Amino acid sequence: MTHKVHPKSFRIRSMSDWGSRGFYGKNMPGFLEEDLQIRDFLEKRLKDAGLAKVDIERFPGRIIVMVEALRPGFIIGRGGGGIEILRKSIEKIISRGRRKRFLSSAKSPIDKGIIKIDVLELRNPWIHPGLVGQWVADQLEKRMPFRRTMKQSLEKVVANREVKGARIEISGRLDGNEIARREWLQAGQLPRQTLRADIDYALKEAYCSYGVIGIKVWIYKGEKLD
């Protein structure tokens, strides 16, 4: 029998790398939990900035959070004030979690200045599946017809020269119908079983008045032979 596999984890090390990297050691479970909390916080806080990706690298005495977004000025703020607010918020998240694990509320177990945030600007949102999925979710939440939304987004994705193929799939109570179903559109090539295929993938959700709509986006950018 076949099994569904996440397209990105299927190609770890051959086409892409882990989202969390660095020196974890015996504290890996706790550190990975911190990484998940940091990502959840940034996805909620930076939704309007067009957040596409968050990578975290850990070194002794240093945590580097790399953020890729469509509007970096929204994140950085005037004079870098936005970065400082985010850094302090992340320090609080880490300190709160470590107090629970170490059962020590006397003082924070994290040194100040240990967090560094790097922001990278993205030029084209239509080659990043996370941003495409978020656009589709925003349109569905505005009660736009799902077929028109899927067609418009797919046309904008495949119009890019570096994109060889794409697929958009949504499921749920589409347009408020009582019976949930799944619909999809695909254009171009999408060799999901080829390990050297550069396929990016994202899953988003649209929270509509009639229920939650799941959105999956695949974008194929050709093969990498090296």
Question: In a structure prediction context, what are the per-residue pLDDT tens digits for the chain, which is 226 residues long?
Answer: 567 888 888 787 766 778 888 888 788 888 889 999 999 999 999 988 889 999 999 988 889 999 999 999 889 888 888 899 999 999 998 888 877 776 444 344 566 668 999 999 999 999 999 999 999 999 999 999 999 999 999 999 999 999 999 999 999 999 999 999 999 999 999 998 888 888 999 999 999 999 999 999 999 998 887 6
Of the candidates 100, 121, 142, which is a domain's last residue?
Answer: 121
Task: Please identify which residue in the block is written with the tokens 């418009």.
Answer: 152
> For residue 118, which phi and psi values (nearest 5 degrees)?
-110, 135
Residue 2 belongs to some domain of the structure: no
Does one domain contain both 65 and 136? no
Residue 148 belongs to some domain of the structure: yes
Count CB-CB contacts under 10 A for residue 188. Answer: 14
Does one domain contain both 110 and 22? yes
Range of the domain at 213: 125-223
Does one domain contain both 161 and 117? no
Residue 3 belongs to some domain of the structure: no
Does one domain contain both 149 and 197? yes
pLDDT value at residue 107: 45
Whole-angstrom distance, CA of residue 3 vs CA of residue 166: 21
Does one domain contain both 19 and 102? yes
Q: Look up the CATH number of the domain holding residue 158.
A: 3.30.1140.32
Does one domain contain both 147 and 206? yes
pLDDT value at residue 180: 94
Q: What is the average pLDDT score of the chain?
A: 88
What is the pTM for the complete model shown? 0.85
Q: What is the DSSP letter of 15?
A: T
**Residues with Cβ within 8 Å of residue 79, at least 6 apart in sequence:** none
Q: What is the DSSP letter of 211?
A: E
Residue 201 belongs to some domain of the structure: yes
Does one domain contain both 34 and 110? yes
Residue 212 belongs to some domain of the structure: yes
Whole-angstrom distance, CA of residue 190 vs CA of residue 156: 17
Does one domain contain both 14 and 111? yes
Does one domain contain both 47 and 132? no
pLDDT in tens, 192-223: 888 888 899 999 999 999 999 999 999 999 88
List C-alpha distances in Å: 202 to 26, 166, 172. Answer: 30, 12, 17
Of the candidates 121, 142, 158, which is a domain's last residue?
Answer: 121
Contact 175, 140 (CB under 8 A): no
Of the candidates 95, 121, 147, which is a domain's last residue?
Answer: 121
Tally of domains within the chain: 2
Residue 1 belongs to some domain of the structure: no
Does one domain contain both 151 and 200? yes
Count CB-CB contacts under 10 A for residue 179. Answer: 6
Count CB-CB contacts under 10 A for residue 93. Answer: 17
Q: Look up the CATH number of the domain holding residue 78.
A: 3.30.300.20
pLDDT value at residue 31: 87
pLDDT in tens, 167-195: 999 999 999 999 999 999 999 999 988 88
Contact 132, 153 (CB under 8 A): yes
